[in-house]
Amino acid sequence: MMTRNNLERIVYPLLGVVIVLALWQLTCVLWKMPEAVLPTPMNVARAIAKYWPALVSEGWVTLKATLYGFALALLLGIPIAVAVSLSSWVNLMFYPLLVALQSVPKVALAPILLVWLGTGIESKLAIAWLVAFFPIVVDTAAGLQSTPRDLLELGRSLKATRWQVFSMIQFPAALPYVFTGAKVAVTLAVIGAVIGEFVGSSDGLGFLLLSATSQINTSLAFAALFALSVLGTITYLMVVAVERALSGWLPLPPPRH
């Protein structure tokens, strides 16, 4: 049975979408927008249907670069955050460097990475990794450094070893922070992959978008844009799903930025 609350949760968002689409269509009709400048929602829908196989196959390429980059960011980011949080000399040596590197606009590195790694998946993956890496390191490190004091004292009072304190107290306590970082990182990884494709690549949604605009096929460009937002949403929801699956573990509300 559908409760009133559930109904509202489905009907209102749908209504919002309908209103925006209607306004979009109206804009195109009233101002007589040329197809090349702003295609109507109907034409975009047609383009999506027409280019569906291309959107799926190019989307798959972008998805792979995104997920590999994100996975690599987790794989390297978490151990680095651990090292920075647990060892004061590692912290002193590398944390300022990390913060400084974070302020480098990563997009500006794309051409350099292209020179190093070529136009294959490697350069896209590297950029996706680069943008996803910092939020994971910073949030994980923040989580590891904000362990409740009482729990650390409890560990001390029992003469827990350093490894016990880390594995039984600090790391689990930091997990909600890791997820906050991961959610930011995965959305950034999509952007990173697309930037890689913009700068130099012969496949992926970014490449499709770029070639569509160069052929003034704006409907296809919008279709690619649509596919990208679907891809971004899917990857984000994947992280949320993992977080939910562990929610028994993580009843704490994730910290806010």
Residues contributing to the site for another protein (CB under 8 A): 148, 150-151, 153-160, 164, 168-169, 172-173, 175, 248-252
- Distance separating alpha carbons of residues 137 and 143, to the nearest angstrom: 10
Of residues 38 and 152, the one with the C-beta less far from another protein: 152
Sign of the alpha-carbon dihedral angle for 66, 69, 71, 77: negative
CB of 150 to another protein, least distance (A): 4
Closer of 45 and 151 to another protein (Cβ): 151
Tokens of 27: 């804009």
Distance CA 182, CA 136 (A): 6
- Separation CA 227–CA 85 (nearest Å): 39
In the complex, the smallest distance separating the C-beta of residue 82 from another protein, rounded to whole angstroms, is 18
In whole angstroms, give the CA distance from residue 189 to residue 138: 16
18 or 154: whose CB is closer to another protein?
A: 154
Amino acid letter at 205?
L
| Amino acid (1-letter code) at residue 51 | Y
Q: To the nearest whole angstrom, how small is the minimum distance from the Cβ of residue 99 to another protein?
A: 23
CA distances from 77 to 31, 48, 224, 238 (A): 50, 37, 31, 19
- The DSSP code for 158 is T
Least separation in angstroms between residue 174's CB and another protein is 11
Distance, in Å, from the CA atom of 201 to the CA atom of 122, rounded to the nearest integer, reads 10
Is the Cβ of residue 68 or residue 171 nearer to another protein in the bound state? Answer: 171
At 68, which helix (H) or strand (E)? helix 52-86
Q: In the complex, what is the shortest distance from the CB of residue 181 to another protein, in angstroms, rounded to a whole number?
A: 18
CB of 154 to another protein, least distance (A): 7
Give min distance, CB of 179 to another protein, in A.
13
Nearer to another protein by C-beta: 41 or 172? Answer: 172
Nearer to another protein, 165 or 182 (CB): 165
Q: Could you tell me the CA-to-CA distances from 202 to 121, 159, 210 in Å, in that order?
A: 10, 58, 10
- Please say which residue, 105 or 248, places its beta carbon nearer to another protein: 248
Question: Cα(37)–Cα(182) distance, rounded to whole angstroms?
Answer: 36
